[in-house]
Amino acid sequence: MRMSAFGAAITALLTAVAAEAAPVETSLRPVLRPGTVTPLDGVVMDAPLRSVRPVVRPETLPQAEVILASSNPKFQNWINGFRGRALSQGIKASVFDRAFRGTRYNADVIDKDRNQAEFKRNIWDYLDSAASPDRVSEGKKALRKHKSTLQAIERTYGVEAEIVTAVWGLESRYGTRKGDINVIEAMATLAYDGRRGPFFEKQLVAALKILQSGDVAPRNMKGSWAGAMGHTQFIPTSYLAYAVDITGDGRRDIWSDNPADALASTAAYLKRFGWVKGMPWGVEVKVPKGFGATSAKRMPSDWAARGVVAMNGKPVPNHGSARILMPAGPAGAKFMVFKNFDVIKRYNNADAYAIGVGHLGDRIGGGPAIQASWPRGYTPVTFEQRKEIQRRLKRKGYPLEKIDGILGPNTTKSIKAFQQSIGVTPDGFPSADLLQQLKRN
């Protein structure tokens, strides 16, 4: 449904965007939606709402010419042509001109789009980051801090607070990495570039409709390089279809310091695609020897009759039909996954992402870490040792911005560069051998 901050990295790794669906309601106005949106009446908000409402509403702005700062004449010509197409779809000239004032062709956006497939992670490295000790600890703090808001959202939409918090944690690290790129500029650059021109032009029109609705001012419409916005990284078309105003202030404000609308919008999205409260996303299981990959769906009691049981050796409760997922093959962890697993995949259509959200939600709620081992092929290091690897790489001059224990693309590239410099196989793994090599060299 979107590409993310951490989610941008995720999408870069997994290259997945969930399918769009029909809007809950056709109105673009940020009004209360009967049967869908319940304002937080009587709830003490966890953080003050910072208004980003434009002082002058877009529809009252005077007519103006598009003022471009682009040094790319072809890009400027494309914008001039797109202006007519946008206006034919109901965008007001004043809104368009204000949104595009100062827009430039952003080469950095194209570079990120071109290099998505260069960075891949194994499932265990991905989950090490998705449910890292820091991310779990931060998630528990976020859950406590926003307890009243999340409880109200859970009552309204029937999506557990821990799952909503986990999506927030993976998408923007609980609001700390929402993205700071001008969404109009990014969408226009990608639409002009043409690799996925029709898709991004559709997103660009949707972004202009958001501005026209008055939900946000152009200067505050910031997001990732791929146009994912706010605390939980909605792309513009999904925002129009599913974003809600649960605070009742007349705006669906997913960018505000107060995350209430963004978190409620995420819950509304999951509910729209069939989230079942009380049903787990999945359960780690043990399978009998010789158990092979299968796409069959059975009730947990049926799986138990075939030797598939929870890690405690007992049958998994009958939460509904489920299938067995082995993301690393027979040698890694196995999961019995239910309908809610597929609902999470509507947010980002990748098994790793759905496991990451589900497992992080479990950990935030006090659940255990994944118990089975992974076929890593190397001796793993602890989370603190990962940080030590990053610190040592940075001291050696490799371009690492953050010491966070997360194996992101910069860390992987730096590890490979260091390994090449000492003449060993550049596998990029954060292994015990790598740490010793960094200490010796």
For the chain, what is the radius of gyration of the CA atoms?
23
Q: Does the annotation mark 59 as catalytic?
A: no
Residue 285, φ and ψ in degrees, nearest 5: -135, 165
Is-contact 232 24, C-beta < 8 A? no
Is-contact 323 122, C-beta < 8 A? no
C-alpha span between 330 and 293 (Å, rounded): 8
C-alpha span between 163 and 267 (Å, rounded): 9
Residue 187, φ and ψ in degrees, nearest 5: -65, -40
Mapped onto helix, strand or coil, the DSSP state of residue 24 is coil
Residue 5, φ and ψ in degrees, nearest 5: -70, -80
- For residue 229, give the amino acid letter: M
C-alpha span between 425 and 349 (Å, rounded): 32
Cβ-based neighbours of 5, under 8 Å, separated by 6 or more: 171, 172, 173, 177, 178, 179, 224, 228, 233
Task: Single out the catalytic residue among 171, 185, 201, 284.
Answer: 171
- For residue 123, give the amino acid letter: I
Cβ-based neighbours of 198, under 8 Å, separated by 6 or more: none
C-alpha span between 323 and 298 (Å, rounded): 6
C-alpha span between 408 and 119 (Å, rounded): 9
Q: Is 233 left (phi over 0), alpha (psi -120 to 50) or beta?
A: left
Burial class of 411 by CB neighbour count within 10 A (0 to 12, 13 to 18, 19+): buried
Cβ-based neighbours of 111, under 8 Å, separated by 6 or more: none
Catalytic positions, please?
A: 171
